[in-house]
Structure 1
Amino acid sequence: MDEFPISNIVFIVIAILLVYGIFFLVKQQTSAIIERFGKFQSVRSSGLQLKIPLVDKVAGRINLKIQQLDVIVETKTKDDVFVRLKVSVQFQVMKDKVYDAFYKLENPQSQITSYVFDVVRAEVPKMILDNVFERKDDVANAVKSELNDAMQDYGYDIIKTLVTDIDPDEQVKTSMNRINASEREKVAAEFEAEAERIKIVAKARAEAESKRLQGQGIADQRREIARGLEESVDVLNNVGINSQEASALIVVTQHYDTLQSIGEETNTNLILLPNSPQAGSDMLNNMVASFTASNQIGEAMKKAEAEKKNKKEDN
């Protein structure tokens, strides 16, 4: 078998090197920078590209996708509270400024970080802690505006900036939690007090209504008792018993009715005094004497009033 000529092997190797040196691939959303003898030649977009071997070279590649950089900044608020802010910056290389992005800026992430620090430490010290939470969008917009003005000269477009986290000092967070808890307890206590007040008012109204009805019932009862007594006196008057004697008789009758009702109750501890056989007679005599004395006093008062009236008329 004849040996394969060395010249052919050399030719094949050179051909392979030429192929690899001439053709190169650029991925989607990527740009390649071509330099010729160390000098910028052109920007190549995605796809299969050609270059002159040993003359041109791929100096670098630029990512055209949207990228995100998270920057954590520690600063102090207007009310002297140290706080850490996490700022997320979304940026992208502008397709028509790939040259500027590659040659003008060595480290874009460091440049963006510096501007974020500068803006945040200029804006946050103007606000108290509560306003930092409420106006975090203002801080994000200020960062975006500053970065856009600075980074577009380097071929970078700032898509969006977000303040994604605000983390105060641990002691401050503990104090804020205590304040919030106290506020919630205060509101809860107010609701409980209002509920208790409503219960008390409702109970008082119910008791007042109960007392009113109770008083009305007692008044109706006494009215009926008085009507019954009046009818009893009228009946006794019709049989020749005067009002005083009728009243005494009714009282004595009520006395014995009470004794009878007490006797019917087996478990009662009530004792009515006096409670002797002559108690009814004594009560009747006392009542008659009282009525007589009352009539005498009444007649004397009428006589005195009449004499006083006559003296006035004579004068």
Structure 2
Amino acid sequence: MGGFYIFLIPFGIFLFFLLLSSFFIVKQQTAALIENFGRFSSIRNSGLQFKIPIVQRIAGRVNLKIQQLDVLVETKTKDDVFVKLKISVQFQVLREKVYDAFYKLQNPHDQITSYVFDVVRAEVPKMKLDDVFERKDDIAIAVKQELNDAMINYGYDIIKTLVTDIDPDVQVKAAMNRINAAEREKVAAEYEAEAERIKIVAKARAEAESKRLQGQGIADQRREIARGLEESVDVLNNVGINSQEASALIVVTQHYDTLQSIGEETNTNLILLPNSPQAGSNMLNDMIASFVASNQIGEEMRKRNESDPKMGNPKSTRKKPPSASDPEVGF
């Protein structure tokens, strides 16, 4: 009897572990495939599941979550530039096709990688390097379409494909950076030239306006000087000084005023030659002599015109006007 109990204890432990192994848990977003003696039996979804011990076993589990596979492809563009593209493929096993996804493909990642290589190396050589950057979405769409057509038969749905990186050769990138820098320097030079042109035009306009205002000021100044001289002559005439004497007095006064103003400037470099005490007197005498000579010449011409009966014919009466060197004219 004691031997029977000794045999029963191990058998009970065996039955306990056998019963315990009949239950298993399937996680969320996971599917478990059950086989009966190596033959497919059923698909179990998430939760606590039961299987027949010894007869049934879990052949495998399939992840139903969205997965991502990054594929790095090196190829050549149409303009003979080698470039590396990183393609990110987001895919998911269809819940209704778990059987196909598990049994039809040995390694789905390798299968997807092969299709990505095939599509990228078929599309990129048709484009130049600049087009690869500009049309990366077209490459992604082409990869997605090709993968969908191929992987749907194996129970895989391609959610999205992305071209996440485009990496040309190091020397090509350096050349592109130099081209970009040169282009930006060109634009900067054009803007600087335009700014300089605007400055020159503005400066020229300002100088023109300044010259116009300066000329207007000089004209106003001369007009006021002439008006002042006219008033000065009128005042001198009222006190018995004739126009010639008044003009001579004004000239001498302005001469000495000019000398005085020059003397007040300490930093002036102006030198008047000749300059002597007799300079004003000589200038006055020269002016008086020229006025007297002019009056004598005018008087002589008037007398000759009155004594000539052919006054009406200008050609016959025209004579050489007297000059300062003629013997009739004296100073």
User: Structure 1-normalised TM-score?
Assistant: 0.87
Instruction: Structure 1: state its 5+ residue gaps.
Output: none
Structure 2 counterparts to residues 291-306 of structure 1, below 5 A: 291-292=291-292
Partner of 1:113: 113
Counterpart of 1:258, as a letter, is: T
Work out whether residues 70 and 88 of structure 1, in 8 Å CA contact, stay in contact via their aligned partners in 2: yes
Farther off after superposition, 197-206 or 237-246? 237-246
Partner of 1:248: 248
Work out whether residues 87 and 165 of structure 1, in 8 Å CA contact, stay in contact via their aligned partners in 2: yes
Rounded Cα–Cα distance in structure 2 between residues aligned with 1:298 and 1:130: 95
Structure 2 counterparts to residues 101-140 of structure 1, below 5 A: 101-140=101-140
Residues 283 and 4 (structure 1), Cα distance of their counterparts in 2 relative to 1, 3 Å cut: farther
Rounded Cα–Cα distance in structure 2 between residues aligned with 1:263 and 1:21: 126
Spell out, residue by residue over 1:63-104, the C-alpha distance to the aligned partner (whole angstroms, 9 max, x if none). Answer: 111111000001111121111000000111111111111111
CA RMSD of aligned residues (A): 2.9
Rounded Cα–Cα distance in structure 1 between residues aligned with 2:254 and 2:233: 14
Residues 121 and 27 (structure 1), Cα distance of their counterparts in 2 relative to 1, 3 Å cut: same
Partner of 1:28: 28
Residues 38 and 257 (structure 1), Cα distance of their counterparts in 2 relative to 1, 3 Å cut: closer
Rounded Cα–Cα distance in structure 2 between residues aligned with 1:299 and 1:138: 108
Spell out, residue by residue over 1:93-151, the C-alpha distance to the aligned partner (whole angstroms, 9 max, x if none). Answer: 11111111111111100000000011111111111111211111111111111100100
Q: State the shift of 1:271 in Å.
A: 4.2
Spell out, residue by residue over 1:257-306, the C-alpha distance to the aligned partner (whole angstroms, 9 max, x if none). Answer: 333444555665644333333222211121233345556777899999x9
Residues 269 and 57 (structure 1), Cα distance of their counterparts in 2 relative to 1, 3 Å cut: closer
Q: State the shift of 1:156 in Å.
A: 0.5
Q: When the two structures are aligned, how many residues end up with a matched partner?
A: 310
Partner of 1:310: 314
Partner of 2:81: 81
Spell out, residue by residue over 1:7-58, the C-alpha distance to the aligned partner (whole angstroms, 9 max, x if none). Answer: 2222212212321342222222111111112211111112222222222211
Farther off after superposition, 293-302 or 213-222? 293-302
Rounded Cα–Cα distance in structure 2 between residues aligned with 1:141 and 1:117: 14
Structure 2 counterparts to residues 1-315 of structure 1, below 5 A: 5-239=5-239, 241-263=241-263, 270-292=270-292, 310-311=314-315
Residues 45 and 238 (structure 1), Cα distance of their counterparts in 2 relative to 1, 3 Å cut: same
Residues 23 and 280 (structure 1), Cα distance of their counterparts in 2 relative to 1, 3 Å cut: closer
Instruction: Structure 2: state its 5+ residue gaps.
Output: 317-331
Rounded Cα–Cα distance in structure 1 between residues aligned with 2:26 and 2:99: 16
**What percentage of aligned pairs have identical amino acids?**
79
Residues 237 and 134 (structure 1), Cα distance of their counterparts in 2 relative to 1, 3 Å cut: same
Work out whether residues 65 and 93 of structure 1, in 8 Å CA contact, stay in contact via their aligned partners in 2: yes
SS at match of 1:275: coil
